[in-house]
Amino acid sequence: MTYFLYVFDLTGVFFFAISGAIAGRKNEMDIFGMFMLALVTAIGGGTLRSLLIGVTPPPVLRDPAYISLAAGATIVSLFAEPLWEKWQRAVSLFDAVGLGVFVCIGIQVAQNQGLAPWACLAMGLVTATFGGVLRDLFRAEVPLIFRKEIYATAALLGGLVYLLGDLLGMLPRYNIPITTV
């Protein structure tokens, strides 16, 4: 994974972790529960992807940055509590950015493993959405992705854009920001 991709990955992880920590707070979890939910939301998608394509151990066990970022996002969420009302829009933005980044990373990792394009697309979607599915499962709710198709549709479109850009020979360097938008 190039340095560029790595920075994007960590950005997505941080944004998803914030979304998980806030969700935990809404369920009246304590700081530990919030951290767990932040971590699961942030790394659930990438970890399932790793298991499915047989690359073990998954990134979260190889690089302490992921757990550290989840811990940091939890603390940020706690201190920023008074700002939450204003954050409603921002949280959706966080989700959207994380989604776009993770779709691209999932596709790229799957491509490196030699999977067919449609399977790479599926891995992009899994990477982008499974963290949120776990977040909702652990709160005993029907996952958002099953109820609001907008997230999945956005991830699917993003993945298609990325694959198209890839086909046209674009460098990931330019492709990822475009897809994220």
Instruction: Look at the block and give the residue holding tokens 């493993």.
Output: 113
**Cβ closer to a second copy: 31 or 90?**
31
Which helix (H) or strand (E) element contains residue 17?
A: helix 3-26
Residues that bind a second copy (CB under 8 A): 24, 27, 29-33, 36-37, 47, 51-54, 56-58, 60-62, 64, 67, 113, 115-116, 118-119, 122-123, 133, 137-143, 145-147, 149, 152-153
Task: Extract the tokens encoding 9.
Answer: 């990955």
Q: How far is the CB of 120 from a second copy (least distance, A)?
A: 9
**Cβ closer to a second copy: 101 or 135?**
135
Q: How far is the CB of 119 from a second copy (least distance, A)?
A: 4
**Cβ closer to a second copy: 49 or 165?**
49
**Cβ closer to a second copy: 143 or 170?**
143
**Cβ closer to a second copy: 58 or 170?**
58
Q: What per-residue string of b and e applies to 105-131 under the rule 16 or more CB within 10 Å gives b?
A: bbbbbbbeeebeeebbbbbbbbbbbbb
Q: What per-residue string of b and e applies to 35-70 under the rule 16 or more CB within 10 Å gives b?
A: bbbbbbbbbbbbbbbbebbeeeebbbeeeeebbebb
Q: How far is the CB of 78 from a second copy (least distance, A)?
A: 14
Q: How far is the CB of 97 from a second copy (least distance, A)?
A: 22
Residues 6+ apart with CB under 8 A from 108: 5, 172
Q: How far is the CB of 39 from a second copy (least distance, A)?
A: 10
